[in-house]
Amino acid sequence: MFDTLWYGGDYNPEQWAPDVWDDDVRLMQRAGVTVATVGVFSWAKLEPADGEFDFAWLDDVIDRLHAGGVAVDLATATAAPPPWLVREHPDVLPVMADGTVLGVGSRQHYSPSSATYRRYAARLAERIVHRYADHPAVIAWHVNNEYGCHVPRCYSDESAVAFRAWLAERYGDIETLNDAWGTAFWSQHYASFEEVMPPRAAPASINPTQQLDFDRFSSDALLALHVMESEIIRARSDKPITTNFMGFFKAADYWAWAQHVDFVTDDAYPDPADPRAIPYAAAVRDIMRSLAGDKPWILMEQATSAVNWRPRNAPKPVGGFRRLSLQSIARGADGIMQFQWRQSVRGSEKFHSAMVPHAGEDTRIFREVCALGEELARLTDVIGTRVPSRVAVMFDWDSWWALEQTDTPARVSYVHAVLAWHHALWRAGVTVDFASRSSSLDSYDLVIVPSMQVVTPEVQERVAAARERGATVLVTYQSAILDLGLGVLPGGYLGSWASMLGVRVEEFAPFAHPDQYFDAPSTVPGSAVEGALAGDIEGWSEVVHADAAEVLATFTEGLAAGGPAITRRAPSEGAGAAWYVATQPSDALADAVVARLLADSGVTPVATSASPEVEAVRRGEKLFLINHGATAAEVEWDGGAATLEPGEVRVVASA
Ligand code: GLA
C-alpha cells in the first residue's frame, strides 16, 4: 500500500480561487508532500442542488495534484450535509436527549439513523466513487470524517425505532431484555419493544443497562454508516478504505470499528500547554497501532502548531511538530498528515495552524514542514516494520461507559485510571500494546487490567491463563465488578480473579469529594498508603482481604485504614506474580509498582535515561530517541549511549 510514508494534509481547495491551486502544488512539492486528503467538506460544492452534481472543479484539482506527483486520499464528502438537504428534509437533523434539534450553519448535522441522510449520503458516495475509482491519483478512500465527533448520539424518533430494532436483535424477546436490564427495579418492566425509548431527559437516573445499550447502539449506528459507504466503495474499487478515528474517543468502540477499515487512521491534537500531553499522545499512538493489529496505521490529522478550539490555544514549541510526528512514526505510523494544508482565511478554523500559514512560505512553520518532509523521505525503510511490545494494557469501551455512569460509588475517569499505568511504563521506557477484552494475550509477559469494571467469563479465563503460563498480571480497583448486563458478578467482586490474586474486595470506600470529577490528579483529594510500597493515592480506597497474597501497602485513612491497598501473590509452579492495586496511585507510586512489575516479568526498557522527558521506542531495526525536554539528557541502550540535546530526536540502528 505504501512506497513512501504518507505526508501531507487535508486539502480544501474549494476555499480558494484556482490560481491558488497551482501555488498549492508548487508548495506541496517543496514540502515533500506525497498525499492530500481531498473533498472532506465538499458536499455543497459537489452537489449544489438535489441531484445536480458538479465534478468539474474536483476533476481539475485531482488532475493538478496528479500532474504534480501528489496522490489523493479521496473523501466521500458526506460529513457536512448541504443546507438544501436540510431545508428539503429536516428529518436528517440530529436530536439531543432534551429534545433540542441541532441545526445547520456548522457541520455534522445529521442523525446516523436518518433514512433520508443515509439515502443521500449513499448517492453522493456512489457518484464520487464511480467518477474517481480509476483515477491514477486516487490511492485510498476516506469515508466521511470523524464519525460522532460533534454528535455522538441521536435521540430522535427515528433513532428510537433503530434502537428498538437493535435491542430486538440483541435480546430476541422483550422478557430477555427485562431480565438483562433488571426492570423489576422502579417499575420499569416493558410489555413490548415499542415501549422502550432512548435514554432521553428523565426525572432521575436512567436504567444503567438502558444507558449502556444506548452507548453500544450509538457506536454501532455510526459504524453502520461507515459500513454502508464502504460497501458502496468496495463494489467499484479495491483501493484501501479508512475513516479517521479520534484517539480515546468514548462514543465509538474502536475495537469493533477497526475490523471495518483497511488501515487505521487517527486525528490527534495534544495540547502543547499540557505537561501530560506527550505521554498521552504516546498512548494514543499505541492504541492506534493496537487497533490496527496487522494493518497499517497513519496519523491522519494533527496541527503544525496551535488549534483554534480550546479556550486558549498554545502554539507548538519550536521542533514540537517534528517530535510528535517522529513519536508517531516510532510507534508504528506509516504516515504523518495534517489538518490542514493551507490555513483558511474565512470560517471557524481560520486561526487553526496549517502547513502553509497565513504568513506564507517564509515562516518557521513552513520551514519545519519542509524539513519534516525531507526527513520522512529518508525514513521509508520503516514502512511496514513492527513495534515490539511485551506488555499489554487492557482497554474496554463497555467498562468506560459503565464506570462513568451516574449512580456509581464515585465518579472515576476511566482513561485516567488506565493511562496512569501506560504513563508509568512510558516513563520507564517500556512500550505498551493495548488489548481488547477479546485480544489474545499469548505474546505478553506483563498484562495490566486497569479498572475493567465489566467482564465476561472468557476474559477472566484468558487473563488467568496468561498468569498460569508465567505472565505477571496486575489488576486494579473496580475491575470485574459487573457482567455485560451490568449485574453485579455472582460470587463477589473480582469474580474468578479473586482466587488468581489471592484477595477479596468487601466494600468500596472512595474518599469524599463534593463536586469534582475525578479525572485530573490535582483536583482529587489525596491520601497515602504506607508499607514496602508507600506513596500518595487519589480518591479511592476499599476494604480488601489478602487471603493468599502479600500486602505491600496499606491504606492510612478512612474505613479501609490499616487494610491492604497493594498486594502481590508470588509466582509459583510456573505461574507469574499476581498483583492487585486497590486505588488510583500517584505517578511516583505507580512508578514504584511498575519497577516491581518489570522485575517480576523480566520486561526491560529499550533504553534508559535519568530524564523523564526522554522517550525511547524500537521500531523494526531502528531505535527512536526523543528528548522532549529543555535540557540535555544522557541515554543508554544495549550497544550504545548518547547525549541528546534539548529537543533532539535521534534515530539509531538497533538490533
Ligand atoms: C478535526 C476535523 C478537522 C478539523 C480539525 C481541527 O480533526 O476532522 O476537519 O476541524 O479537527 O482541529
Structure-block grid coordinates of residue 246: 479520534
The closest residue, in CA terms, to atom 9 on ligand 1 is 339
The closest residue, in CA terms, to atom 3 on ligand 1 is 339
Residue 515 has pLDDT above 70, yes or no: no
Residue 470 has pLDDT above 50, yes or no: yes
How does pLDDT run across 540-550, given as a tens digit for each residue? 999 999 999 99
Beta-sheet pairing, 633-637 with 640-644:
antiparallel
Rounded CA separation 245/73 (Å)? 15
How does pLDDT run across 228-263, given as a tens digit for each residue? 999 999 999 999 999 999 999 999 999 999 999 999
Pocket test for ligand 1, best of 10, 73, 146 (most atoms within 8 A of CB): 146
Cα 370 to Cα 31, 377, 647, distances in angstroms: 4, 11, 18
Concatenating the DSSP letter of every residue in 353-409 gives --SB-TT-SSSHHHHHHHHHHHHHHTTGGGTT-----SEEEE--HHHHHHHTSSSSS
CA 39 to ligand 1 center in whole angstroms: 13
From the CA of 267, give the closest atom in ligand 1.
Answer: 7
Burial profile 21-56: b = 16 or more Cβ within 10 angstroms, e = fewer: beebbebbeebbbbbbbbbbbbbbbbbeeeeeeeee
From the CA of 145, give the closest atom in ligand 1.
Answer: 8
**Residue 309 burial (CB count, 10 A):** 11
Q: Tell me the angle at which helices 208-234 and 157-171 cross, rounded to the nearest 10 degrees.
A: 100
Pocket test for ligand 1, best of 42, 245, 309, 339 (most atoms within 8 A of CB): 339
Residue 524 has pLDDT above 70, yes or no: no
Higher-confidence position of 654 and 185: 185
pLDDT band, residue 539 (cuts 50/70/90): confident
What is the arithmetic mean of pLDDT over 356-377?
Answer: 98
- Measured from CB, residues less than 6 Å from any atom of ligand 1 are 145-146, 267, 269, 301, 307, 339, 349, 352
CA 344 to ligand 1 center in whole angstroms: 12
If DSSP codes are grouped into helix, strand and coil, which group holds residue 595? helix
What is the arithmetic mean of pLDDT over 70-89?
Answer: 98
**pTM reported for the whole predicted model:** 0.97
How does pLDDT run across 267-316, given as a tens digit for each residue? 999 999 998 999 999 999 999 999 999 999 999 999 999 999 999 999 99
From the CA of 307, give the closest atom in ligand 1.
Answer: 12
From the CA of 40, give the closest atom in ligand 1.
Answer: 9
Residue 522 has pLDDT above 50, yes or no: no
CA 455 to ligand 1 center in whole angstroms: 34
How does pLDDT run across 479-513, given as a tens digit for each residue? 999 999 999 999 899 999 999 999 999 999 998 76
Pocket test for ligand 1, best of 11, 301, 341 (most atoms within 8 A of CB): 301
Residue 517 has pLDDT above 50, yes or no: no
The closest residue, in CA terms, to atom 7 on ligand 1 is 267
- Closest by CA position to 71, among listed 59, 63, 60, 79: 63
Q: Among 301, 404, 538, 648, which one carries the catalytic annotation?
A: 301
Q: Can you name the CATH fold of 391-601?
A: Rossmann fold (3.40.50)
How does pLDDT run across 409-468, given as a tens digit for each residue? 998 899 999 999 999 999 999 999 999 999 999 999 999 999 999 999 999 999 999 999
* Ranges of each domain in the chain: 6-149+237-382, 391-601, 607-653
Residue 354 has pLDDT above 90, yes or no: yes
Q: Among 146, 375, 404, 542, which one carries the catalytic annotation?
A: 146
CA 339 to ligand 1 center in whole angstroms: 6
Question: Percentage of the chain with pLDDT > 70?
Answer: 98
Q: Tell me the angle at which helices 277-292 and 414-427 cross, rounded to the nearest 10 degrees.
A: 100
CA 156 to ligand 1 center in whole angstroms: 26
From the CA of 309, give the closest atom in ligand 1.
Answer: 12
Strand order in the sheet with 333-338: 241-242, 138-142, 71-75, 35-38, 6-11, 333-338, 297-301, 264-267, 244-245
Pocket test for ligand 1, best of 349, 351, 353 (most atoms within 8 A of CB): 349
The closest residue, in CA terms, to atom 12 on ligand 1 is 307
Residue 644 has pLDDT above 90, yes or no: yes
Rounded CA separation 533/625 (Å)? 30
Task: Give CA 569 to chain center in angstroms.
Answer: 33
CA 345 to ligand 1 center in whole angstroms: 16
How does pLDDT run across 390-412, given as a tens digit for each residue? 999 999 999 999 999 999 999 88
pLDDT score of 525 = 63
At the top level of CATH, the class of 607-653 is mainly beta
pLDDT band, residue 344 (cuts 50/70/90): very high
Residue 520 has pLDDT above 70, yes or no: no
CA 247 to ligand 1 center in whole angstroms: 13
How does pLDDT run across 32-63, given as a tens digit for each residue? 999 999 999 999 999 999 999 999 999 999 99
If DSSP codes are grouped into helix, strand and coil, which group holds residue 43? helix
| Residue 85 amino acid letter | L
What is the arithmetic mean of pLDDT over 321-338?
Answer: 98
Active site annotation includes 557:
no
Active site annotation includes 146:
yes
Architecture of domain 6-149+237-382: Alpha-Beta Barrel (3.20)
Residue 147 has pLDDT above 80, yes or no: yes
CA 215 to ligand 1 center in whole angstroms: 23
If DSSP codes are grouped into helix, strand and coil, which group holds residue 111? coil
